[in-house]
Chain A
Amino acid sequence: GENVEQHPSTLSVQEGDSAVIKCTYSDSASNYFPWYKQELGKRPQLIIDIRSNVGEKKDQRIAVTLNKTAKHFSLHITETQPEDSAVYFCAADKGGYQKVTFGIGTKLQVIP
């Protein structure tokens, strides 16, 4: 089955700096790669996603890149703010009603 590795597990950055979280996956059939943000005590919520036919996607301060050859995708957050502090999960999905596999999560702390 699919295996998703995510690192780092914890990340501290100064406010205004950039943060990068990296994930690798094992199943070349995966074609959808979402990122979820989970604030303390809350449910995970989708913040950005990318499909296998796209190499990069941006939404304001966040961006995701995908390298299908290397089976690697990353989340980039620029100009970090304290409200970016949360746990971020990457995931890989084969689509077609198949199960989604998550990484272990990255706890991001933005220091004011």
Chain B
Amino acid sequence: EAQVTQNPRYLITVTGKKLTVTCSQNMNHEYMSWYRQDPGLGLRQIYYSMNVEVTDKGDVPEGYKVSRKEKRNFPLILESPSPNQTSLYFCASSPGDFTGELFFGEGSRLTVL
């Protein structure tokens, strides 16, 4: 089954404790991206990647890191989480051709205390 898989789905952590949210897709998509969803702010892009070893900042990259060492994986790293990073996070992928459609993962709800 074609899918985008995120882990963990739910996480409660404390300020400053490094964490990684994994994202994996099995559709051989070139394009992957991370979004955060907050009430009243919609979906805001954090980082995106056009292909292996190619990443770029989105609209809200501060406090986040990403890497794209393999085509299928695009982890989101919070080196020192803060309470303002409490949010619902979505990973998404796209074929990278002119199709445009984003395929979203199920989301990861992160709470930073």
Residues of A within 8 A of B (CB): 1, 6, 9, 32, 34, 36, 42-46, 49, 89, 93, 95, 97, 99-105
Q: How far is B102's CA from A46's CA once the two chains are assembled, in angstroms?
A: 7
Q: How far is B104's CA from A9's CA once the two chains are assembled, in angstroms?
A: 22
Q: What are 17 A-B interface contacts by the 8 Å CB criterion?
A: A42-B106, A43-B105, A43-B107, A46-B101, A49-B101, A89-B42, A89-B43, A97-B30, A97-B96, A99-B33, A99-B56, A100-B33, A101-B59, A102-B35, A102-B42, A102-B44, A104-B40
Kindly list chain A residues whose C-beta atoms are within 8 Å of the C-beta of B56. 99
Judge whether B45 and A34 touch: CB under 8 Å. Answer: no
A1-B59, A43-B105 known; A93 and B44 CB under 8 Å? Answer: no
Kindly list chain A residues whose C-beta atoms are within 8 Å of the C-beta of B106. 42-43
**Which residue in B31, B50, B90 is a CB contact (below 8 Å) of A43?**
B90
Q: How far is B104's CA from A99's CA once the two chains are assembled, in angstroms?
A: 15
Kindly list chain A residues whose C-beta atoms are within 8 Å of the C-beta of B30. 97
Chain B, residues 21-64, CB within 8 Å of chain A (1/0): the string is 00000000011010100001111110010100000101100000
Judge whether B50 and A97 touch: CB under 8 Å. Answer: yes
Residues of B within 8 A of A (CB): 30-31, 33, 35, 40-45, 48, 50, 56, 58-59, 90, 96, 98, 100-102, 104-107
Q: How far is B58's CA from A109's CA once the two chains are assembled, in angstroms?
A: 31
Kindly list chain B residues whose C-beta atoms are within 8 Å of the C-beta of A46. 101-102
Q: How far is B100's CA from A49's CA once the two chains are assembled, in angstroms?
A: 9
Kindly list chain B residues whose C-beta atoms are within 8 Å of the C-beta of A45. 104
Kindly list chain A residues whose C-beta atoms are within 8 Å of the C-beta of B100. 32, 34, 49, 93, 95
Judge whether A97 and B31 touch: CB under 8 Å. Answer: yes
A49-B100, A97-B31 known; A103 and B42 CB under 8 Å? Answer: yes
Q: How far is B31's CA from A32's CA once the two chains are assembled, in angstroms?
A: 16
Kindly list chain B residues whose C-beta atoms are within 8 Å of the C-beta of A99. 33, 45, 48, 56, 58-59
Judge whether A100 and B42 touch: CB under 8 Å. Answer: no
Judge whether A104 and B45 touch: CB under 8 Å. Answer: no
Kindly list chain B residues whose C-beta atoms are within 8 Å of the C-beta of A34. 100-102
